[in-house]
Amino acid sequence: MKWAAIDFETANPSSMSACAVGLTVFDEGEMVFSDSWLIRPHPYYDAFYPSFIDIHGITSSQVADAPFFPTVYNQLKPWLDGGVLCAHNAEFDMKVLASCCSLYRLEIPDVPYFCTVRLSRKVYPYLSHHRLNDVCDYMGIQLDHHDAGSDARGCALIVANTMNLMQIYEPLPLAEACQIPVKKILE
């Protein structure tokens, strides 16, 4: 089964201010795609807060010539259709995805998703923290934290490593075995 990890960065607190997205896709146990895109936020939501720039390093000048969300979404959507999504702090990323789709009147993907923070807490309860960088450090996954592409890849590798550990190689049975909720973006 196809599944993907997604990570968004935003310009400010608005979930409609996506300025970068990363996506890593696995199919039949193999990483088949991994990429990231800068996104030019919608003009109503394009203020870059200094505190957000401090986190991800993306500035308004870096996205001035980047495509708006619909162009990037057209590249993402084929990878999302028919699969399962995961994200670290998934509620945030799914809210950004749904908000940007709604803003531009795009179809919100009707796919199940689960959160790798919850997965990490269940499977690795002995870790003192379950932030993406902490879990990746524990697993030996190289991470350029708050780079959307690197974060998506790190998240995907957490799932892949956990699948190997538990010998459950499909995302929904893994979530069920770990007793973590699987939701739909539209819920």
Question: Domain limits of the chain?
Answer: 3-184
Predicted confidence band at 186 (pLDDT cuts at 50, 70, 90)?
A: confident
Average pLDDT over residues 127-150: 96
pLDDT for 131 equals 97
Residues 144-170 have a mean pLDDT of 97
Residue-level pLDDT at 37: 99
Instruction: List, as one string, the DSSP characters of 78-144.
Output: HHHTTSEEEETTHHHHHHHHHHHHHHTTPPPP--EEEEHHHHHHHH-TTSS---HHHHHHHHT----
Whether domain 3-184 has CATH 3.60.15.10: no
The average pLDDT across 120-142 equals 97
| Token pair 């790798």: residue | 116
The residues, ordered by sequence, that sit 6+ positions from 15 with a Cβ below 8 Å of its Cβ are 92, 95, 96, 98, 99, 100
pTM of the model: 0.96
Beta-bridge mates of residue 184: 112
Q: What is the pLDDT of residues 34-85, one digit of tens each?
A: 999 999 999 999 999 999 999 999 999 999 999 999 999 999 999 999 999 9
44 three-state secondary structure: helix
Share of the chain above pLDDT 90, in %: 98
The pLDDT value given to residue 15: 98
C-alpha to C-alpha distance for 90 and 121, rounded to whole angstroms: 14
